[in-house]
Amino acid sequence: MFNFTAKQVYFYPTCIGCKQGVRKVAAKIRSEHGNPPVQIKNAGIGNGSTVEDLEENRLRAVSDVNIISYFFLATNVDYSCTKAAAMAFHEGLGQELRLIHNAPRVKTSVVHPTKVRTEMIDYLVKSGKLNSTTGLPDDVAGAVINQLYSGYKAQLVVPPSLGWVSLVRGTPSWFREYIRNSLSAMLIKAGHGHAPRREGVDP
């Protein structure tokens, strides 16, 4: 148990959802106390609104504080986070439709494609360094259309042969970490950690 006096506690107000604000207060902390050895993010807000009633400014406020701020406080893992967010949105929307709107017949589906042969990764595929399953845009489009015409909801993995990967979510943390490390190392080795920027493709 640590005991702190008032003189050992400092308060620096800022909006952690604002990149410039975070950088400014971080520079001030470093100048006055040196580099902090530990960082704890404990900020979070919520709305309690349904998707239908949620105002855009409130949505952006929650996203900025609860999600976007992580990228201002740590390293860049934006792509993976957006994919996880899509899955969480799919699950949450399904619950909201069923329990709040009493609309169990409204179906939602989410599609998890493997790496798709578009300009985003084509340079990796052509280099021969990407040792991973890839698919074509038509594979994803076909899966989406077929699911629409089925009339059922689903969580789809494209190609279906990789469906077993969804089981990784239920495995022990050490095994998930092993899988993540293996895949990340493969991608970094293939692209040396950076993709060439192309007009109209990269942000």
Please check whether residue 5 lies inside any domain of the structure: no
Rg value, the chain, Cα: 22
Domain match, 122 and 153 both: yes
What is the pLDDT at residue 18? 86
Q: Of 105-114, 128-137, 186-195, which range is least confident?
A: 186-195
Q: Is the pLDDT of residue 68 over 80?
A: yes
Domain match, 128 and 176 both: yes
Give the integer Cα–Cα distance in Å for 122 and 116. 9
Please check whether residue 112 lies inside any domain of the structure: yes
Mean pLDDT in residue range 143-147:
89
Query: Known catalytic residue: 129?
Result: no
Mean pLDDT in residue range 25-33:
91
Q: Supply the mean pLDDT for the chain.
A: 80
Q: Give how far the C-alpha of residue 52 lies from the chain's centroid of Cα atoms, to the nearest Å.
A: 22
What is the pLDDT at residue 75? 57
pLDDT tier for residue 74 given thresholds of 50, 70 and 90: low
What is the pLDDT at residue 191? 64
Domain match, 180 and 130 both: yes
Q: What is the DSSP string of 148-184?
A: HHHT--EEEEESGGGGGGGGGGGS-HHHHHHHHHHHH
Give the integer Cα–Cα distance in Å for 130 and 138. 20
- Considering its fold, how many domains does the chain have in total? 3
Domain match, 198 and 178 both: yes
Q: Is the pLDDT of residue 200 over 50?
A: no
pTM > 0.85: no
Q: Which of 7, 79, 149, 152 is catalytic?
A: 79
Domain containing 139: what range? 108-203
Query: Known catalytic residue: 152?
Result: no
Q: Which of 28, 41, 83, 153 is catalytic?
A: 83
Please check whether residue 31 lies inside any domain of the structure: yes
Please check whether residue 180 lies inside any domain of the structure: yes
Domain boundary among 52, 75, 98: 75
Q: Is the pLDDT of residue 93 over 50?
A: yes
